């Protein structure tokens, strides 16, 4: 596990400072990078906004969005936390990502676990969408959901294989490293120090992680994913497993979208087709077995005395 925080800094004050710096940067950075992107690629902001949702997206506009998302995430979730760790913990990212101690069996188990959870999450997504919110909230959530859908469709309209690889880096690789460092490596660790209960810290971080993405019709499945990532880190002490799971979750979805657009597969992973209860149950059992196997490879005893 990472080194203890410096004794003259409380975990709560460090947590608040970290959230202020990282999320504050994430709110400001997109506007700055948008100005750089549209100036560099020679389009106006109005052209970019009109292009979103069009049947024939302009590749220049798509590249602007990729640049804005990628640069903002790298700055906010990797560079700022790395500087924070160096300044306030006198450490480095090597304290969280232990490349030399990656267990191949645990890595394969992690991949299987993630794919199983993706199937189970399909049922959770359907359940979350069926929740009826108050009319005022529902209107706001619907608008946010529609904006998110348009952005996603715009970003994932893969006009070439190199563009697909670029989106894979921005949407799968960067969040797998940056979001796991911020949410699991730092925020979850601080909450565990504050409350002394790893499970409360894991689920609280998962709630914050889900709320951060601002898609409330997907709040519960994303919270479940966040908790899953949190437990991978907690039981292994190595952020690589959570990062691998995060990458598989995002990357597999992008890969299936690409294959569908190329007419290589007929299954549309973005469809709202209901997952059968039997498939959900089967993969839930498989996931539970794999999770037990994952835990046994690390033999950790938590603060509550559970092995």
Number of domains in the chain: 1
For the segment 103-114, what is each residue's pLDDT rounded down to a tens digit? 899 999 999 999
Residue 137: the pLDDT is 78
Contact 244, 169 (CB under 8 A): no
In a domain, 304, yes or no: no
Contact 267, 256 (CB under 8 A): yes
Residue 304: the pLDDT is 47
In a domain, 246, yes or no: yes
Contact 78, 72 (CB under 8 A): no
Contact 154, 62 (CB under 8 A): yes
CA dist., res. 29 & res. 291, Å (int): 38
For the segment 153-206, what is each residue's pLDDT rounded down to a tens digit? 999 999 999 999 999 999 999 999 999 999 999 999 999 999 999 999 999 999
User: What's the domain range around 157?
Assistant: 11-296
CA dist., res. 193 & res. 198, Å (int): 9
In a domain, 152, yes or no: yes
For the segment 204-262, what is each residue's pLDDT rounded down to a tens digit? 999 999 999 888 888 999 999 999 999 999 999 999 999 999 999 999 999 999 999 99
In a domain, 228, yes or no: yes
In a domain, 70, yes or no: yes
In a domain, 279, yes or no: yes
In a domain, 6, yes or no: no
Nearest to 95 by CA among 181, 196, 205: 181
Residue 168: the pLDDT is 98
Nearest to 235 by CA among 178, 301, 171: 301
């Amino acid at each position: 596990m990472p080194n203890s925080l410096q004794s003259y800094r409380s975990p709560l004050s460090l947590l608040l400072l970290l959230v202020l710096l990282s999320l504050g940067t994430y709110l400001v950075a997109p506007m700055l990078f948008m100005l750089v992107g549209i100036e560099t690629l020679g389009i106006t902001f109005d052209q970019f906004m009109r292009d979103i949702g069009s049947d024939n997206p302009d590749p220049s506009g798509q590249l602007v969005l990729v640049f804005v998302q990628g640069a903002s995430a790298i700055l906010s979730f990797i560079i700022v936390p790395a500087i924070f760790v160096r300044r306030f913990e006198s450490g480095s990212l090597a304290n969280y990502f232990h490349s030399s101690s990656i267990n191949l069996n645990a890595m394969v188990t992690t991949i299987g676990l993630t794919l199983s959870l993706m199937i189970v999450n399909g049922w959770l997504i359907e359940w979350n969408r069926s929740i009826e919110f108050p009319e005022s909230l529902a209107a706001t959530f619907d608008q946010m959901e529609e904006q998110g859908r348009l952005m996603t469709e715009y970003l994932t309209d893969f006009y070439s294989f190199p563009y697909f690889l670029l989106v894979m880096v921005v949407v799968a690789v960067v969040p797998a490293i940056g979001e796991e460092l911020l949410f699991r490596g730092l925020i979850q660790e601080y909450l565990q120090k504050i409350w002394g209960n790893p499970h409360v810290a894991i689920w609280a971080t998962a709630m914050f992680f889900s709320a951060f993405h601002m898609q409330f019709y997907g709040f519960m499945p994303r919270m479940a994913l966040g908790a899953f990532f949190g437990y991978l880190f907690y039981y292994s002490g190595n952020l690589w497993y959570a990062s691998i799971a995060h990458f598989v979750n995002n990357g597999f979805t992008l890969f299936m979208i690409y294959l569908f657009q190329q007419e290589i597969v007929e299954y549309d992973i973005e469809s709202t087709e209901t997952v059968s209860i039997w498939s959900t149950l089967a993969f839930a059992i498989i996931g539970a077995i794999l999770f037990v196997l994952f835990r046994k490879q690390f033999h950790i005893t938590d603060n509550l005395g559970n092995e």
